[in-house]
Structure 1
Amino acid sequence: MASRPSLRALRRVTAPLRNTPTQTRSLCVSAPLLNSSSSPQERQTHFGFETVSESEKTKRVANVFHSVADSYDKMNDLMSFGYHRIWKDQFVSSLAPGLVPTNPASDLRILDVAGGTGDIAFRLLRTAIDTHAHPSVHLTISDINPSMLSVGRSRSESLPISHQAALSFLEADATSLPPQIADNSLDLYTVAFGIRNFTDIPAALREARRVLKPGGVFACLEFSAVDNPVLDALYKRWSFSAIPLIGQVVAGDRDSYQYLVESIERFPSQEKFRDMIVDAGFVVSGDGYENLTGGVAAVHKGIKPL
């Protein structure tokens, strides 16, 4: 059956470069980054450049995001020179106009996973509600980390009343969403700069497919593989030399930001991640991704078959 059309759109680096991890989302690092004992039968994954058990990664990621929650938005501006705002705007605009328009117009249900502080969700609400393309809009911000959700709740208090009324918050693991996120219930599933932290990315992709309606859209914004060698060298030098130092000076937390840059380096290339999306049962159009700023970030989309 034809697919629904895609929506318009230092530490010196001596460790192995991008290979495909089986990872989960937890951004937490207030506790020391020390290995804890785990069952020898437990599956292994990556925490930055370390190999750890899946349960250990979940704990560490959680600690990272507990630690960085209050400074997260400020650090994003410093680390990306404000470019994260441009990427997020491009990501949301690529889903417009109307955010999954239907004919006739119907209610719109969105899940923003790893949505934390609300940066993507608030943009989505502005586009979906202010264009009056749907009779009603409901958006759930889901995050495994309560500290990040707390920041998002606080920020949401400054939104227009109509936006607040359309918004809810859910503490949940993206690899196993709770029963209230039912099968075939969502029009749009978004995740921005979060999926690389998931403990089991294939499991999260399968969950995304489960909860989307046929014809529903999976959309992901994530750091990716830079396609220009000169830009790549400059980007790596900045990432591994400057970002952990900025984390230490601004947030008092070097280790968390060291992990974050290592997690970017470990994330699959655009092609490998696209193939993971296809393996989860989605249909992609064209290359399946759009590079931003030479591949520093990339937008991936998949459509659940009708």
Structure 2
Amino acid sequence: MTKPERAPASFRVEVDEQPIKRRAVFSSDVQNLGSWHAVSVDAATALSSRRRRKVDDDSLRLIDDLTNRPLDPLFSDARLTQQKQRSKFSVWSTRIIVFIICIAVGFLGIVFVRQLNTDPRKQVRASLISELEAQNASLDKATTEVTDLHTKVARLSDSMPNAGPDSTLTQDEMANGALAVKGPGIVVTLADPVASRTANGNGPRENSTNHIRVVTDSDLQNIVNLLWRAGAEAISINGYRLGVSTSVRTAGQTILIGVNQVASPYKIEAIGNHKNLSQAMNNESQPDLYRALNAAGINPQVSRSYSLRLAAAQTANVVHAKRSK
């Protein structure tokens, strides 16, 4: 019998070339690994003679590793995790799910960015403005109803039998503004100058340092006082009659006639002798007033009218006041 052929020696790994981690072959995908075969004795001897150059420099050691050993010993281990080919249904379902998730994330991101760029004060101001408008509308409706009721009461009082008209009561009610009146008079118109409008939409009032300003409540009060002194019998501003309990004041940047807001242009209607009223309100009679208004960019306009109609003023209920004997 012949002597059995000697098996070739396997490649001996040097101590400094041993891998840090060992490969685990207890996997169903071990067949994906490459084939490794033993070499002959002569080849093993030749290979074992190749020893790693001993260098102390780390950079030279790295260059030597990249040149002589470019393949990472653990590279083949990654082949153990390779999966089988996926079906088209699985691939497309995954893509669709990822696409939907991306759309949802993008939409939420847009909403979040818009929330960050939104000023919450605008919503608060809009809510307050809507509430104020609703309150003003309710107040105007209630005022109209009160005026209509006063008119009905006066009409019913006049229609009562055996009751003649009381001229004294009628005169008192007209003087107090409780009844609507008509007659000749003048119309004084004031308007804010265009140059007085600021960037935020609010015009400078009398406390502003700007030379150009808008019409103030003081301007309206001065003109109303001049008209009363000149003999005006009834006055209204922008359709709101001035009565015994009506005030002209400023709330913030808004002028109020009683509780009603008015805005430029301001139309002051006064019933009386239109000749005396127009003469008392012209430039020659009030030079200081016209000089101050013209310096602020405000130009009053006075016109005569032979027929003015003024509605009744808002009246307050008398509770504490008693007639004095």
The answer to which structure has the higher strand fraction is 1
Higher normalized contact order (CA 8 Å, seq sep 6+, divided by chain length): 1
> Normalized against structure 2, the TM-score is what?
0.23
Structure possessing the higher radius of gyration over alpha carbons: 2
> Normalized against structure 1, the TM-score is what?
0.24
